[in-house]
Structure 1
Amino acid sequence: MRKLIVSGILTLIVLSGCSSDASITTDDKVTGLVNDYLGALETKDISAMVKYTDDLRFPDKVEQKKQYSNIEEEITDTKIIEIKKVNETEFEVTVEMVFDGNLNELTFPIQKQEKDWRIIVGQDF
Protein backbone atom coordinates (compact mmCIF):
# COMPACT_ATOMS: atom_id res chain seq x y z
CA MET A 1 0.00 0.00 0.00
CA ARG A 2 2.82 2.43 0.89
CA LYS A 3 4.52 1.81 -2.48
CA LEU A 4 1.24 2.62 -4.23
CA ILE A 5 0.90 5.95 -2.39
CA VAL A 6 4.52 6.91 -3.09
CA SER A 7 4.08 5.88 -6.72
CA GLY A 8 0.93 7.99 -6.98
CA ILE A 9 2.65 11.03 -5.51
CA LEU A 10 5.63 10.66 -7.83
CA THR A 11 3.28 10.35 -10.81
CA LEU A 12 1.50 13.56 -9.80
CA ILE A 13 4.81 15.40 -9.42
CA VAL A 14 5.99 14.22 -12.84
CA LEU A 15 2.67 15.09 -14.49
CA SER A 16 2.53 18.54 -12.91
CA GLY A 17 6.08 19.21 -14.11
CA CYS A 18 5.20 18.11 -17.63
CA SER A 19 2.11 20.25 -17.77
CA SER A 20 3.82 23.49 -16.75
CA ASP A 21 4.45 24.44 -20.39
CA ALA A 22 0.87 23.64 -21.26
CA SER A 23 -0.34 25.94 -18.49
CA ILE A 24 1.38 28.95 -20.06
CA THR A 25 -1.47 30.90 -21.58
CA THR A 26 -1.45 32.68 -24.90
CA ASP A 27 -1.59 35.97 -22.96
CA ASP A 28 1.58 34.96 -21.10
CA LYS A 29 3.33 34.02 -24.35
CA VAL A 30 2.43 37.35 -25.97
CA THR A 31 3.48 39.32 -22.88
CA GLY A 32 6.78 37.42 -22.82
CA LEU A 33 7.33 38.15 -26.51
CA VAL A 34 6.75 41.88 -25.99
CA ASN A 35 9.04 41.98 -22.94
CA ASP A 36 11.76 40.14 -24.87
CA TYR A 37 11.38 42.57 -27.78
CA LEU A 38 11.55 45.62 -25.52
CA GLY A 39 14.67 44.23 -23.89
CA ALA A 40 16.19 43.68 -27.34
CA LEU A 41 15.43 47.29 -28.26
CA GLU A 42 17.16 48.61 -25.14
CA THR A 43 20.26 46.45 -25.63
CA LYS A 44 20.26 46.85 -29.44
CA ASP A 45 20.14 43.06 -29.88
CA ILE A 46 19.50 43.14 -33.63
CA SER A 47 19.14 39.38 -34.04
CA ALA A 48 16.45 39.27 -31.35
CA MET A 49 14.68 42.33 -32.79
CA VAL A 50 14.48 40.61 -36.17
CA LYS A 51 13.40 37.32 -34.59
CA TYR A 52 10.45 38.84 -32.70
CA THR A 53 9.12 41.07 -35.46
CA ASP A 54 7.74 41.06 -38.95
CA ASP A 55 8.72 44.46 -40.36
CA LEU A 56 6.47 45.47 -43.26
CA ARG A 57 9.09 47.88 -44.62
CA PHE A 58 11.50 45.13 -45.67
CA PRO A 59 10.99 42.26 -48.12
CA ASP A 60 12.98 39.73 -46.08
CA LYS A 61 14.81 39.16 -42.79
CA VAL A 62 18.24 39.73 -44.37
CA GLU A 63 17.31 43.27 -45.44
CA GLN A 64 15.55 43.87 -42.13
CA LYS A 65 18.70 42.89 -40.18
CA LYS A 66 20.88 45.05 -42.45
CA GLN A 67 18.69 48.11 -41.88
CA TYR A 68 18.39 47.49 -38.12
CA SER A 69 22.19 47.54 -37.95
CA ASN A 70 22.00 51.24 -38.84
CA ILE A 71 19.69 52.21 -35.96
CA GLU A 72 21.29 55.04 -34.02
CA GLU A 73 18.48 56.02 -31.63
CA GLU A 74 19.02 55.38 -27.95
CA ILE A 75 15.97 53.49 -26.68
CA THR A 76 15.46 53.31 -22.91
CA ASP A 77 12.77 53.01 -20.24
CA THR A 78 10.52 50.68 -22.21
CA LYS A 79 7.35 49.32 -20.64
CA ILE A 80 4.06 47.73 -21.60
CA ILE A 81 1.06 49.99 -21.07
CA GLU A 82 -1.66 47.60 -22.30
CA ILE A 83 -2.12 44.34 -24.19
CA LYS A 84 -5.56 43.70 -25.70
CA LYS A 85 -6.74 40.49 -27.30
CA VAL A 86 -8.34 41.25 -30.66
CA ASN A 87 -9.14 37.63 -31.55
CA GLU A 88 -7.55 34.18 -31.32
CA THR A 89 -4.71 35.09 -33.69
CA GLU A 90 -4.18 38.78 -32.97
CA PHE A 91 -3.38 41.04 -30.04
CA GLU A 92 -2.62 44.74 -29.83
CA VAL A 93 0.07 46.11 -27.54
CA THR A 94 0.63 49.67 -26.44
CA VAL A 95 4.13 50.39 -25.17
CA GLU A 96 5.92 53.39 -23.80
CA MET A 97 9.57 54.03 -24.51
CA VAL A 98 12.09 56.83 -24.51
CA PHE A 99 13.78 57.56 -27.89
CA ASP A 100 16.79 59.83 -27.52
CA GLY A 101 15.31 61.39 -24.38
CA ASN A 102 11.76 61.84 -25.77
CA LEU A 103 8.87 59.83 -24.32
CA ASN A 104 6.79 58.02 -26.97
CA GLU A 105 3.73 55.81 -26.82
CA LEU A 106 3.36 53.32 -29.68
CA THR A 107 0.81 50.65 -30.55
CA PHE A 108 1.67 47.49 -32.47
CA PRO A 109 -0.39 44.56 -33.69
CA ILE A 110 0.82 41.12 -32.68
CA GLN A 111 -0.18 38.25 -34.97
CA LYS A 112 0.14 34.50 -34.82
CA GLN A 113 2.11 33.34 -37.85
CA GLU A 114 2.25 29.58 -38.23
CA LYS A 115 3.33 28.42 -34.75
CA ASP A 116 4.92 31.65 -33.47
CA TRP A 117 3.71 35.11 -32.52
CA ARG A 118 5.27 38.17 -34.21
CA ILE A 119 5.09 41.87 -33.47
CA ILE A 120 4.14 43.71 -36.65
CA VAL A 121 6.20 46.87 -37.14
CA GLY A 122 6.68 49.36 -39.96
CA GLN A 123 3.00 49.91 -40.70
CA ASP A 124 3.22 53.63 -39.88
CA PHE A 125 6.01 54.38 -42.35
Structure 2
Amino acid sequence: MRKLIVSGILTLIVLSGCSSEAGVTTDEKVTGLVSDYLGALESKDISAMVKYTDDLRFPDKNEQKKQYSHIEAEITDTKIIEIKKVSETEFEATVEMVSDGDLNELTFPIQKQEENWKIIVGQDF
Protein backbone atom coordinates (compact mmCIF):
# COMPACT_ATOMS: atom_id res chain seq x y z
CA MET A 1 0.00 0.00 0.00
CA ARG A 2 2.81 2.39 0.90
CA LYS A 3 4.55 1.74 -2.45
CA LEU A 4 1.30 2.49 -4.25
CA ILE A 5 0.90 5.83 -2.48
CA VAL A 6 4.53 6.82 -3.14
CA SER A 7 4.17 5.73 -6.76
CA GLY A 8 0.96 7.75 -7.12
CA ILE A 9 2.58 10.87 -5.64
CA LEU A 10 5.60 10.55 -7.93
CA THR A 11 3.33 10.15 -10.94
CA LEU A 12 1.40 13.29 -9.98
CA ILE A 13 4.63 15.25 -9.57
CA VAL A 14 5.92 14.13 -12.97
CA LEU A 15 2.60 14.84 -14.67
CA SER A 16 2.25 18.27 -13.09
CA GLY A 17 5.78 19.11 -14.23
CA CYS A 18 4.90 18.06 -17.77
CA SER A 19 1.65 19.98 -17.83
CA SER A 20 3.21 23.18 -16.56
CA GLU A 21 5.84 23.04 -19.32
CA ALA A 22 3.15 22.31 -21.88
CA GLY A 23 1.15 25.21 -20.45
CA VAL A 24 3.84 27.72 -21.42
CA THR A 25 2.77 29.28 -24.70
CA THR A 26 5.13 30.08 -27.53
CA ASP A 27 4.48 33.78 -26.91
CA GLU A 28 5.58 33.35 -23.29
CA LYS A 29 8.70 31.42 -24.33
CA VAL A 30 9.69 34.12 -26.82
CA THR A 31 8.97 36.91 -24.33
CA GLY A 32 11.07 35.09 -21.73
CA LEU A 33 13.91 34.69 -24.23
CA VAL A 34 13.90 38.41 -25.07
CA SER A 35 13.73 39.35 -21.39
CA ASP A 36 16.64 37.02 -20.56
CA TYR A 37 18.66 38.44 -23.46
CA LEU A 38 18.07 42.02 -22.33
CA GLY A 39 19.17 41.05 -18.83
CA ALA A 40 22.32 39.47 -20.28
CA LEU A 41 23.05 42.67 -22.22
CA GLU A 42 22.74 44.79 -19.09
CA SER A 43 24.93 42.48 -17.00
CA LYS A 44 27.37 41.79 -19.87
CA ASP A 45 26.82 38.03 -19.48
CA ILE A 46 28.62 36.97 -22.66
CA SER A 47 27.78 33.26 -22.37
CA ALA A 48 24.08 34.05 -22.09
CA MET A 49 24.22 36.56 -24.95
CA VAL A 50 25.76 33.88 -27.19
CA LYS A 51 23.26 31.27 -25.99
CA TYR A 52 20.21 33.40 -26.81
CA THR A 53 21.33 34.69 -30.20
CA ASP A 54 22.26 33.66 -33.68
CA ASP A 55 24.69 36.41 -34.67
CA LEU A 56 24.93 36.42 -38.46
CA ARG A 57 28.36 38.07 -38.31
CA PHE A 58 29.91 35.15 -36.42
CA PRO A 59 29.05 31.62 -37.60
CA ASP A 60 31.67 30.35 -35.11
CA LYS A 61 30.38 30.64 -31.51
CA ASN A 62 33.94 30.90 -30.13
CA GLU A 63 34.61 33.90 -32.37
CA GLN A 64 31.28 35.38 -31.29
CA LYS A 65 32.29 35.06 -27.60
CA LYS A 66 35.68 36.60 -28.33
CA GLN A 67 34.14 39.60 -30.12
CA TYR A 68 31.46 40.06 -27.46
CA SER A 69 34.15 40.26 -24.78
CA HIS A 70 35.31 43.51 -26.42
CA ILE A 71 31.92 45.23 -26.16
CA GLU A 72 32.46 48.45 -24.27
CA ALA A 73 28.99 49.99 -24.52
CA GLU A 74 27.18 50.51 -21.24
CA ILE A 75 23.67 49.15 -21.79
CA THR A 76 20.98 50.03 -19.24
CA ASP A 77 17.25 50.53 -18.92
CA THR A 78 16.26 47.81 -21.38
CA LYS A 79 12.56 47.30 -22.01
CA ILE A 80 10.39 45.19 -24.30
CA ILE A 81 8.10 47.47 -26.32
CA GLU A 82 6.34 44.83 -28.44
CA ILE A 83 6.59 41.21 -29.47
CA LYS A 84 4.72 40.38 -32.65
CA LYS A 85 4.10 36.95 -34.17
CA VAL A 86 5.11 36.89 -37.85
CA SER A 87 4.57 33.16 -38.49
CA GLU A 88 4.67 29.84 -36.63
CA THR A 89 8.48 29.96 -36.68
CA GLU A 90 9.18 33.68 -36.49
CA PHE A 91 8.47 36.60 -34.17
CA GLU A 92 9.67 40.17 -34.14
CA ALA A 93 10.71 41.94 -30.93
CA THR A 94 10.92 45.69 -30.58
CA VAL A 95 13.00 46.73 -27.59
CA GLU A 96 14.20 49.93 -26.08
CA MET A 97 17.57 50.38 -24.39
CA VAL A 98 19.93 53.06 -23.28
CA SER A 99 23.40 52.54 -24.73
CA ASP A 100 26.09 54.88 -23.47
CA GLY A 101 23.41 57.37 -22.45
CA ASP A 102 21.54 57.33 -25.79
CA LEU A 103 18.02 55.93 -26.03
CA ASN A 104 17.69 53.40 -28.88
CA GLU A 105 14.75 51.44 -30.22
CA LEU A 106 15.72 48.24 -32.03
CA THR A 107 13.75 45.48 -33.72
CA PHE A 108 15.07 41.93 -33.76
CA PRO A 109 13.74 38.93 -35.66
CA ILE A 110 13.33 35.82 -33.52
CA GLN A 111 13.36 32.47 -35.28
CA LYS A 112 12.77 28.90 -34.24
CA GLN A 113 15.91 26.91 -35.00
CA GLU A 114 15.47 23.20 -34.46
CA GLU A 115 13.93 23.03 -30.97
CA ASN A 116 15.07 26.45 -29.70
CA TRP A 117 14.15 30.05 -30.36
CA LYS A 118 17.01 32.43 -31.20
CA ILE A 119 17.23 36.18 -31.46
CA ILE A 120 18.80 37.09 -34.81
CA VAL A 121 21.42 39.83 -34.49
CA GLY A 122 24.06 41.26 -36.77
CA GLN A 123 21.81 41.62 -39.80
CA ASP A 124 22.44 45.36 -40.04
CA PHE A 125 26.19 45.03 -40.46
Tell me the SS of whatever aligns to 1:57. Answer: coil
Tell me the SS of whatever aligns to 2:124. Answer: coil
Give the TM-score taking structure 2 as reference length.
0.88
Tell me the SS of whatever aligns to 1:21. Answer: helix
- Cα shift readout 1:61-91 (whole Å, capped 9, x = no counterpart): 0110000000000000000000000000000
Give the TM-score taking structure 1 as reference length.
0.88
What does residue 113 of structure 1 align with?
113
Return closer, same or farther for 1:85/1:68 CA change in 2, 3 Å cut-off. same
Unaligned runs of 5+ in 2: 1-8
What does residue 61 of structure 1 align with?
61
Q: Match of 2:19, as an amino acid?
A: S
- Cα shift readout 1:2-55 (whole Å, capped 9, x = no counterpart): xxxxxxxx79x6544430110000000000000000000000000000000000
What does residue 94 of structure 2 align with?
94
Tell me the SS of whatever aligns to 1:72. Answer: coil
Identity %: 83
In the TM superposition, what is the alpha-carbon distance from 1:58 to its structure 2 partner?
1.1
Q: Match of 1:43, as an amino acid?
A: S
What does residue 20 of structure 2 align with?
20
